[in-house]
Amino acid sequence: MDNNGKKSLLRNSNCQDSIFVGLCSVALLAYSLYHHANDRNTGEWKTSPYLFPVLISVFGLLLAVSLMADALHDLHSVQETANAVEGGAKHNLVGALVFIAASVAYYLLMPLLHFIPATIVFLGGLFVYLGERKWWKILLLSVITTGAVYALFGLGLNVRLP
């Protein structure tokens, strides 16, 4: 905290998250566009395996903008105590690391289990981490979400899913 009691923008956890998500989204977008342009087997976007990462990166950029707006709003609102800010930042870091580790595990499981089973396991694990304890809700939400993504992208938009 600085002398007048307001947090600097870069110390705001929403701003830090916004920068991180924004950088990851830009990197994913650049990766997808580069590989789509250089893939000899892909002619159109609707059949490109790089369409889904482009969509994810666009949603990530929208999330980054939203987080930055929250950070700017926090600058003008009532300030938290120094201990709450530090505790919240540590909690955000642990949560971000858990989600990164889960995403890496999902990436590694994808070739072994394929899209549908790997996605159900990934979502189920995240629901457990986020605090859901009823197994039927975890299973139902994981299966419905995976089915909706498969129906929308795999069947509706003809995007090749891994």
pLDDT in tens, 72-86: 777 766 454 444 555
Last residue of a domain, one of 79, 111, 140: 79
Q: pTM for this structure?
A: 0.48
Please name the residues in contact with 112: beta carbons below 8 A apart, sequence gap of 6 or more: 118
User: Given a cut of 60, is residue 118 above it in pLDDT?
Assistant: yes
pLDDT per residue over 128-137, tens digit each?
A: 888 878 888 8
- What's the CA gap between 44 and 8, in Å, rounded? 46
pLDDT per residue over 57-73, tens digit each?
A: 888 888 888 888 887 77
Residue 38 in any domain: the answer is yes
pLDDT per residue over 2-16, tens digit each?
A: 444 445 777 777 788
Total domains in the fold of the chain: 2
> Measured at the alpha carbon of residue 16, what is the angle toward residues 12 and 21, in degrees to the nearest 5?
145
Residue 122 in any domain: the answer is yes
Last residue of a domain, one of 79, 113, 146: 79
What is the pLDDT, as a whole number, of residue 6?
A: 47
Residue 67 in any domain: the answer is yes
In a 3-state reduction of DSSP, which class is residue 2?
coil
What is the pLDDT, as a whole number, of residue 3?
A: 45
Last residue of a domain, one of 16, 49, 79: 79
For residues 149 and 160, the model is more confident at 149
